[in-house]
Amino acid sequence: MSSSPSADGRAVATAIACYTLWGVLPLLFMAMAAHGFAAPEILAHRAVWSLFVAIPVVLLAGQWNEFKHVLASPRVFGWLILSALLIGANWSIYVYATTHHATLEASLGYYINPLLNMAAGAVLFREKIDRWSAVAIGLAAVGVVIQTLALGHVPIIGLLLALTFCAYAVIRKRVPASAQTGLLVECLVLLPIGGVFLIWLAMHGQAVGFSSPSGLAWALFNGPATVIPLALFAWSTRRLPLSTVGFLQFLAPTLQFACGLWAGEHLTPLRVLSFVFIWAGAAVFAITAFKRSRAARAAVRMAETV
């Protein structure tokens, strides 16, 4: 049964809200850095306070029994420990990038991430890569090479962001747990690391988040800023064609790119050229995904007619 236009409209609006929140997230970390937060403390607050938002999200979704089942399953829990470490590494790199004037390079990572996912799918899951998908990957690779020449070094931040999130996605693809439940387990795993670090900072008088009401407000805001976009993502992707999701996901790195420009990060002509290749690869990817999805829907309609 096809969904109604109004339902599709709500799903698209929700997905746009999700990717917009992810896209402007650098502004939060930049503001916290301006208020004296160091990147490790931002990360610790993100790990701790996300748990207290993830719990009600799981309860509202009616997934508490699933959460208990995951904790009782050593195999599933073990995989989620690994995914927690990967997403923690991804968060660490991203927070560092956005607080050290490397947001443009971070956006590069999230532009190439869908293409890297496609390559990983071909290698690990034997998913077929057609000619245009190969072209998209090739364009992105050229963009990375040009970015290396522009920076004078390999864009390690962008590549690590793409690799850690791709590895995270591969694991979560194989783990039988919903997005909300998985995030709650991951937050539970990261809680001791973030909590111990915050206690250490507080004992040494270095915890900006506990030094004033405004500092605490900035710290607490990390919880909803982390969990809400993921909840919106989980709700919308279940209701949208993959082609639509594939197109909309480039909104986040585009906004991240804009945040980097707004923050005054240096953009040379050679870096512009590198992003032109990245954007071309993203466009080929999105158009190919759209055509593939349209062909699949047409085949389903034909089969239903027959």
* pLDDT (average), residues 48-69: 93
Evaluated on CA atoms 53, 56, 57, 58, the torsion sign reads positive
Above 50 in pLDDT, residue 1? no
Alpha carbons 23 and 240: distance in angstroms, whole number:
20
Query: Encoding tokens for residue 24?
Result: 């402007």
Q: How far apart are the first and last CA of the chain?
A: 16
Are residues 108 and 256 in contact, defined by beta-carbon separation less than 8 angstroms? no
- Sort 151 into a burial class: Cβ within 10 Å, 0-12 / 13-18 / 19+: buried
The pLDDT score that the predictor gives to residue 197 is: 96
> For residue 292, which amino acid is it?
R
Are residues 254 and 87 in contact, defined by beta-carbon separation less than 8 angstroms? no
Per-residue pLDDT band for 175 (boundaries 50, 70, 90) equals confident
Q: For all residues of the chain together, what is the average pLDDT?
A: 87
The pLDDT score that the predictor gives to residue 41 is: 97
Query: Encoding tokens for residue 250?
Result: 């480039």
The pLDDT score that the predictor gives to residue 26 is: 96
The H or E element spanning position 168 is: helix 156-174
Backbone angles phi, psi at 99, to 5 degrees: -105, 0
Of the ranges 107-121, 163-177, 229-243, 274-288, which one carries the lowest mean pLDDT score? 229-243
Q: Which of 263, 216, 265 is nearest to 37 (CA)?
A: 216
Above 70 in pLDDT, residue 135? yes
* pLDDT (average), residues 281-289: 81
Q: Which of 188, 165, 166, 160 is nearest to 80 (CA)?
A: 188
Alpha carbons 29 and 222: distance in angstroms, whole number:
9
Alpha carbons 209 and 220: distance in angstroms, whole number:
8
More confident residue, 132 or 108: 108
The pLDDT score that the predictor gives to residue 2 is: 47
pLDDT digits (tens, 9 = 90+) for 179-219: 889 989 999 999 999 999 999 999 999 999 999 999 999 99
Alpha carbons 177 and 64: distance in angstroms, whole number:
12
**Long-range contact set of residues 117-121: C-beta below 8 Å, sequence gap at least 24:** 117/166, 117/169, 118/285, 120/166, 120/169, 120/170
Above 70 in pLDDT, residue 157? yes
Per-residue pLDDT band for 158 (boundaries 50, 70, 90) equals very high
Query: Encoding tokens for residue 91?
Result: 């968060």
More confident residue, 169 or 254: 254
> Who's near 13: CB < 8 A, 6+ residues apart?
none
* pLDDT (average), residues 24-37: 96
Of the ranges 6-20, 47-61, 90-104, 285-299, which one carries the lowest mean pLDDT score? 285-299
Query: Encoding tokens for residue 109?
Result: 């990572």
pLDDT digits (tens, 9 = 90+) for 85-123: 999 999 999 999 999 999 999 999 988 887 787 777 777
Are residues 219 and 45 in contact, defined by beta-carbon separation less than 8 angstroms? yes
Per-residue pLDDT band for 4 (boundaries 50, 70, 90) equals low
Are residues 180 and 61 in contact, defined by beta-carbon separation less than 8 angstroms? yes
Can you give the pTM of this predicted structure? Answer: 0.86
Alpha carbons 173 and 129: distance in angstroms, whole number:
19
Are residues 156 and 280 in contact, defined by beta-carbon separation less than 8 angstroms? no
